[in-house]
Chain A
Amino acid sequence: MTIVVGYIPSPEGEAALDRAIVEAQRSGSRLVVVNSSKGDQLVDDKLLDAREFHLLDERLASAGIDFWIERSSQGSDAAENILHVAEAQRAELIVIGLRKRTSIGKFILGSTAQRIILQAHCPVLSVKVNSGW
């Protein structure tokens, strides 16, 4: 079985990844990390560069799980990418990080998380940065 996690280098992305690693360790599933950017910005910190990719690789290797990192710098947006990977891998679970968005921001730009939750065919676990209490 497979767990898919959407990851970008941000607090939300880290929270999602941490939780996804725990889930993968618990169920012994394969973890697929999806990192993507539409590539329409001149400067984009969401996409992993070679160094960050390497660090992530090391970190997942030391977690003792089976994993794969999907990195795409072009084409479709993050929601589409994650859904596509989840479907192709027949994922049992999608893990995403949530960030705070104003309702106007959501209205204009839409919400990636909302699209994933509504369109996914498997359970979606959404994580907030300060989820522990």
Chain B
Amino acid sequence: MDTFNLLMDGFASALTPMNLLFAFAGVMLGTAVGVLPGIGPAMAVALLLPVTYGMETSSALIMFAGIYYGGMYGGSTTSILLNTPGESATVITAIEGHKMAKAGRAAQALATAAIGSFIAGTIGTALLVTIAPFVVKFAVSIGDPSYFAIMVLALITVTAVLGSSKIRGFASLGLGLAIGLVGADPVTAQDRLTFGIPTLVDGLDIVVVAVAIFAIGEALWIAAHLRTTPAKTIPVGTPWMGKEDWKRSWKPWLRGTAFGFPFGALPAGGAEVPTFLSYVTEKKLSKHPEEFGHGAIEGVAGPEAANNASAAGTLTPMLALGLPTNATAAVMLAFLMMKGIQPGPLLFENEPELVWALIASLFIGNTLLLLINLPLAPMWAKLLKIPRPFLYAGILFFATLGAFSVNMQAMDLWMLLLIGLLGFALRRFGLPVLPLILGVIICPMAEVRLRKTFQLSNGDISGLWSEPLAVGIYILIAVLLSLPLWIALFRRLRGKPAVSEDAIAIDHIEVPSDEAGAGSNQPTNTSGLKGSDKK
């Protein structure tokens, strides 16, 4: 019961009035940025990084956790009311949720999403508490070659398996790794990619990169597409559910959680696959299959639960292995490194108060979200009426201030602008943002592991596969990468068309072309979304 005691200690430190206030601020801010398409929790956390210099690490982390969960919740509100998924994980929610809203059942859709998120988030966090210590025990025992292999696995899966276009994904990953390499070589201290500029020897500050890619890139993109025909609001009352809705929702909630957590907890991450699986399962198991496509409540309840459970699951590799698999977790990890805390398996041992306060605050944040979101849903919908010039002027201001305050160097502002233009180019050419950010953050960590591996093997390349676990992971990577080929081959042998029925279902979502691929948190568009993008 050691874990339980640690968790209780975590609650004790998270429940101080000051930290509760930060948790509250976090969930409010998180929901707000989640509601606004294009402004995700990752951007919010990146913009707040400089503000948190003077704050207690645990307070800041508690606030970030609130933003993380709040963003998940807010995204579903926009999906349901506007049919504009704020992030890729809520694409599936939009299919049924928006149909429900159009049929005048917006209140029920929002309610099942909120309560489902709460249940899935709570169960997911509980699973995180149980599983994380085991992962840590396992992670401490593995060597550098295996660790490097796991990082490669995470990068490959995020890039190749989740994205719509593998080439675009790898292009983005390559850019990220290149940015991550800037600075002095960790072993030989040679300058790399510094172009003779002395300030680049320390490497690019992760805050500058994150703020530039998320905030500046997005602001430029919106500025280029500002004048669009606005959408109409769907009137919402306070969310509520009838008896029938409860009866039809609770099983999808639990099944969605079961899908979501394992996928999130794998160092492959991503909420897309589990939400999609959950949707397909609910469609098969439902007693009202004819309602699917016309606003079935199961189709909102299941994927929403899967989405939040996977959000909780994602924190497992982030805390236990120091390996983030989504953008928000990546920026949170950057925050830990900024504070001089070494992420990785030793985090639980070295900083137990911090970790357990964070986990306790996840429970608290989840409860707060349910309490404030059920009555406040109509207010969140009003946020969409803010004229965007005001909004993005504010974002640009904070972005510039933040990037400058990191090192107080004018050079950083130029870098901000330059990488911001890169962020704009990513959106312009449909490159996902997530592989780039993960590349920047994981690159230095992976490099250290790689160099150690080679030092152990005296520079022999066979050192890479000197551990059985590493060999297993490389085989897994090979299987994952060749999976589409196998599926295509299998289909051809059976004489079936290559496009499945479910892929067509996603095509029905209408995403305004300026939103598709533009979301800061929407790097991994499904193929259906890209299809509508080209219209």
A interface with B by C-beta (< 8 Å): 37-45, 47, 49, 73-75
Contact = CB atoms under 8 A, between A and B. Distances in A.
Contacts of A40: 226-227, 387-389
B233 A39 contact: no
A45 B233 contact: yes
A43 B231 contact: yes
Contacts of B387: 38, 40-41
Interface of B: 36-37, 82, 84, 226-233, 381, 384-389
Nearest to B37: A42
A26 B388 CA distance: 42
B230 A42 contact: yes
Nearest to B512: A42
B82 A43 contact: yes
- Most B Cβ at <10 Å: residue of A41, A44, A74: A41
A42 B38 CA distance: 11
A43 B84 CA distance: 11
B210 to A, nearest CB: 24
Contacts of B385: 41-44
A74 B227 contact: yes
Contact of B227 (A42, A45, A47, A75): A75
A28 B251 CA distance: 66
Contacts of A74: 227-229
B388 A42 contact: yes
Contact of A39 (B37, B228, B384): B228
23 contacts: A37-B230, A38-B227, A38-B387, A39-B227, A39-B228, A39-B229, A40-B389, A41-B230, A41-B384, A41-B386, A41-B387, A42-B82, A43-B230, A43-B232, A43-B381, A44-B231, A44-B232, A44-B385, A45-B232, A47-B230, A49-B232, A73-B227, A73-B229
Nearest to A52: B232
B-side binding surface: helix, strand, loop or mixed?
Answer: loop
Given A39-B230, A41-B384, A73-B228, 10 more contacts: A39-B229, A40-B226, A40-B227, A40-B388, A41-B230, A42-B84, A42-B231, A44-B231, A49-B232, A73-B230
Nearest to A51: B232
**What 5 A-B pairs are tightest by C-beta distance, nearest first?**
A44-B230, A43-B384, A74-B227, A73-B229, A39-B227
Nearest to A44: B230
Contacts of A37: 230
A73 B388 CA distance: 15
A56 B387 CA distance: 26
A40 B384 CA distance: 11
Nearest to B234: A43
Nearest to A48: B232
Contacts of A39: 226-230
B223 to A, nearest CB: 11
A112 to B, nearest CB: 14
Contacts of B230: 37, 39, 41-44, 47, 73
A88 to B, nearest CB: 21
B229 A47 contact: yes
B79 to A, nearest CB: 13
Contact of B233 (A38, A43, A73, A75): A43
A40 B390 CA distance: 10
A40 to B, nearest CB: 5
A47 B384 CA distance: 15
Nearest to B228: A39
A76 B84 CA distance: 26
Contacts of A73: 227-230
Contacts of B386: 41
A105 B307 CA distance: 41
A73 B230 CA distance: 8
Contacts of B84: 42
Contacts of A47: 229-230
A75 B228 CA distance: 10
Contacts of B231: 42-44
A41 B384 CA distance: 7
Contacts of B36: 42
Nearest to A47: B230
A45 B384 CA distance: 11
Most buried by A among B84, B232, B233: B232
Contacts of B381: 43
Contacts of A43: 82, 230-233, 381, 384-385
A42 B390 CA distance: 12
A39 B389 CA distance: 11
A75 B232 CA distance: 18
A124 B194 CA distance: 65
Contacts of B227: 38-40, 73-75
B380 to A, nearest CB: 12
A38 B390 CA distance: 13
A79 to B, nearest CB: 15
A42 B387 CA distance: 8
A56 B82 CA distance: 25
A44 B231 CA distance: 6
B515 to A, nearest CB: 9
A71 to B, nearest CB: 10
A75 B230 CA distance: 12
A49 B37 CA distance: 22
A45 B233 CA distance: 7
B481 to A, nearest CB: 39
Contacts of B233: 43, 45
Nearest to B231: A43
A40 B230 CA distance: 8
A47 B388 CA distance: 16
Contacts of B232: 43-45, 49
A30 B332 CA distance: 62
A44 B381 CA distance: 11
Contacts of B388: 40-42
